[in-house]
Amino acid sequence: MQMRFDGLLGFPGGLVNPSEETLEAGLSRELHEEVGVAVPVGVDDHMSSCVSSSCPRLITHFYIKKMTEAELKEIERAAVASATDHGLEVLGMVRVPLYFLKKGGGLPYFLSHSFISNSRAQLLSALRHCRLLSQGELKEAVRQAEQMRRTHSDDPR
Ligand SMILES: O=c1[nH]cnc2c1ncn2[C@@H]1O[C@H](COP(=O)(O)OP(=O)(O)O)[C@@H](O)[C@H]1O
């Protein structure tokens, strides 16, 4: 995922006007700006679509692209070295911790942060779809994250 300019976590991507280009062409263009390398995206990579709760004229389309660790590392390097949006719209790529540590560390803590739009739900559906974590582990991570959020909101400031 990435840290966005507004301080929220989200996925690489952006707005596409479907009367001007296909969703996949628009996503490939945004990926090039945000991660600095060409990542070919096709209709077969489409995972889900959803009307945005914040703006009914906006539809969020989510794509999953499987890659090797070497490909991921190349993207991480390019995101800093050559992405035109680095330091502007994107403040850095982040890896999602797919493990549990004591006291909610790892995935639960990650999920307790703030995410743009429905990207948190998109992350959870991708982890489920790719079977990177079991249904039980995901439920437990969400439960611990909610508990942590409640604790934080009680913190005196
Ligand atoms: O990772 C994401 N998942 C779901 N929706 C997102 C995500 N990132 C951005 N959005 C939605 O898309 C809208 C446009 O995002 P953004 O302003 O970052 O696009 P841009 O890169 O074209 O400027 C946001 O207001 C938000 O509702």
- Tell me the pLDDT tens digit for each residue of 73-92: 999 999 999 999 999 999 99
What's the average model confidence in pLDDT over 114-136? 97
- List pLDDT tens digits, range 31-63: 999 999 989 999 999 999 999 888 888 999 999
Calculate mean pLDDT across residues 59-73. 96
pLDDT in tens, 22-33: 999 999 999 999
Please name which of 129, 126, 122, 124 lies closest in space to residue 142, comparing C-alpha atoms.
Answer: 124
ipTM: 0.95
Strands 2-4 and 46-51: unpaired
Judge whether residue 155 has pLDDT over 80. no
Give me ligand 1 centre to Cα 25, in Å. 16
Task: Calculate the average pLDDT of the chain.
Answer: 95
Give percent above pLDDT 90 in the chain.
90
Q: Which fold has domain 10-88?
A: Nucleoside Triphosphate Pyrophosphohydrolase (3.90.79)
Contacts 24+ apart (CB under 8 A), 39-43: 39/65, 39/75, 41/65
Residues with CB under 6 A from ligand 1: 10-11, 13-15, 30, 52, 54, 58, 60, 89, 116-119, 122
The DSSP code for 100 is B
C-alpha 51 to ligand 1 mean position (Å): 13
Residue extent(s) of CATH 3.90.79.10 domains in the chain: 10-88
Place of tokens 């600095």: 36
Residue 134 is classified by DSSP as: -
Nearest CA to ligand 1 atom 20: 14
